[in-house]
Amino acid sequence: MVVFYCIGWVAKLNTHVVLVTGSTGFVGKALTDELLLQGYHVVASVRHSSDTFPPNVKQVNVGDLLPSTNWMPALKDVEVVIHLAARVHVMNDSASDQLKEFRKINTLATLNLAKQSVEAGVKRFIFVSSIKVNGEMTEPKHPFTTNDDYIPIDPYGLSKYEAEQGLLALAKETGMEVVIIRPPLIYGPGVKANFSSMMKWVYKGVPLPLGAIHNQRSLVALENMVSFIIHCISHPKAINEVFLISDGEDVSTTELLHKIAKAFGKRTLLFSVPTSLIRYTAKLFGKGDVVNRLCGSLQVDSSKARNLLGWQPTITMDEQLNKTVEAYLNEKTL
């Protein structure tokens, strides 16, 4: 029997049936693979059957993630639900009522799954939320904490916040254990969106006016994110708690670009432009949100995960960036 030891507790593997939603996504695929390696029995909820899963993953077609989705076929014998599926925050969202759309998927559909999980006898519900519940930016040396008293105004962040509140209320009413995780930007092999764009800029040697950005941003490596989620499956002190998670290696945008370049084995072509001028120019072209991510700070205090649960990151930022770059280069050669 495989036994996983941690400070003050012992978790026996091969005993949990785990349902993963969003199992074909960036985090979901990596999580499913690691769960299998650690001996868990995995159920993957899918919209369409896929041949990308190993044969020992039980696929259950539940259709679209909606407030009316019937989860009962997927919840049979499940002890732990890890809910990753969501309507993600996207730039230039074309929905006429963004908050309504985010609430439908991220709030109402989540609570529908949670209520059916109670009916099915699920013991623990792990909800991957977002750091946007805390806000968009932090002041220098004032990282977000789980004690922040803040209600987000961003539609995506608000929909996640409302889901969190509903889950914690459901936990009190029913006794089902809830764990909430709020990650910042997750990076690793297969990462898309802005992080992928940064890698492309560095790979192509594009000169960038980002040589003097003195912000601080927390990130979480894909392997660390997966490690922490699995850590929360059985840990008794995770019950009904909210966690912020990160690598514990905050970096400026300039430092991050240097690290990416090092992983590529390239020199960074950065020149220094005052942040105020970058912001002003971006605002003229309607790119204020993008520049906020490049120039603004967003730090999280993940000490609760370490101190309460005894969790430690399994990979450094440099190590994860090396793997991310390797995957990027392999994809370009296919």
275-306 pLDDT tens trace: 888 888 877 777 777 788 889 999 999 999 99
Place of tokens 């309460």: 308
156 tagged catalytic? yes
pLDDT tens for 310-334 read 999 999 999 999 999 999 999 887 6
User: Residue-wise pLDDT tens for the chain (334 aa)?
Assistant: 333 334 333 344 456 899 999 999 999 999 999 999 999 999 999 988 888 898 899 999 999 999 999 999 999 999 999 999 999 866 455 667 889 999 999 999 999 999 999 999 999 999 999 999 999 999 988 999 999 989 998 999 999 999 999 999 999 999 999 999 999 999 999 999 889 999 999 999 999 999 999 999 999 999 999 999 999 999 999 999 999 999 999 999 999 999 999 999 999 899 999 988 888 887 777 777 778 888 999 999 999 999 999 999 999 999 999 999 999 999 887 6
What is the reported pLDDT for 225?
98
CB 111 within 8 A of CB 168: no
Residues whose CB falls within 8 Å of the CB of residue 68, separated by 6 or more in sequence, listed in order = 112
CA distance 246 to 244: 7
- Residue 330 sits at φ, ψ, to 5 deg, of -65, -40
Asked if residue 311 lies in contact with residue 231, where contact means CB atoms within 8 angstroms, the answer is yes
Instruction: Give the model's pLDDT for residue 11.
Output: 41
The one catalytic residue among 40, 150, 156, 280 = 156
Instruction: Label residue 176 left, alpha or beta by phi (over 0 means left) and psi (-120 to 50 means alpha).
Output: beta
User: Who's near 155: CB < 8 A, 6+ residues apart?
Assistant: 98, 99, 101, 102
Quote the pLDDT of residue 140. 82
Res 13: pLDDT: 45
**Domains observed in the chain:** 3-189+219-249+299-315 (3.40.50.720)
Residue 94's pLDDT is 62
pTM equals 0.92
Predicted local confidence at residue 93, as pLDDT: 59
